[in-house]
Amino acid sequence: MIQQLLSEAGSSGFDSKPVSVDPRGAEVSADLGNLRTPETYVGYGQTDNFASPGGSAWNKHHVYVQPAQLSLNHWALAGDWTVGKEVIALNQPAGRVAFRFHSRDLNLVMGPATRGASLRFRVSIDGQPPDAAHGADADFEGNGTIVEPRLYQLIRQPDPIVDRRFEIEFIDPGAEAYDFTFG
């Protein structure tokens, strides 16, 4: 059916054989049996469970600290951030975001504030490099680069799936983050 429509539209040179779907990275279906952490927006307009002491200061530079412990499904900032209605923006190098989660995958929608910028980050899980638990957008040591606004898969942990503390450190300033998703 699709091939007929493409042919009628003037397309040619495509293979008419069925293709197999092989999802990779964030395209793989969620592990619903281990999903205990909900999608979490980080802008003040829709966020839940923000745990940095003193709460958030809206629409202005503010230096945040993380609590020593995070409860499940709570998150916190460290460093100089501006918390907007839909986005958090890092103002100085070495800002961090921590999240206590329970799922196989941890993804973060983020991007550079300046189009064309390339920003380095490093992720950890329970204070260690992710090693085999790294996602498609981070290496075994947890290193990665933000190059455009999109969803970045940062953690894909192997079994057993248990509560974990995730942390991302943005080495360069200028990162923006919008939303954590889990799978």
* Model confidence pLDDT, tens digit, residues 49-82: 999 999 999 999 999 999 999 999 999 999 999 9
pLDDT band at 32 (very low <50, low <70, confident <90, very high): confident
Give the domain 34-182 fold.
Jelly Rolls (2.60.120)
Percent of residues, the chain, with pLDDT higher than 70? 84
pLDDT band at 11 (very low <50, low <70, confident <90, very high): low
Question: Could you tell me the residue ranges of all domains in the chain?
Answer: 34-182
pLDDT band at 14 (very low <50, low <70, confident <90, very high): low
Cα(70)–Cα(78) distance, integer angstroms: 13
Residue 3: phi, psi to the nearest 5? Answer: -60, -40
Task: Say which range, 20-29, 107-116, 128-137, has the weakest mean pLDDT.
Answer: 20-29
Cα(42)–Cα(110) distance, integer angstroms: 11
Average pLDDT over residues 31-40: 88
Cα(1)–Cα(164) distance, integer angstroms: 46
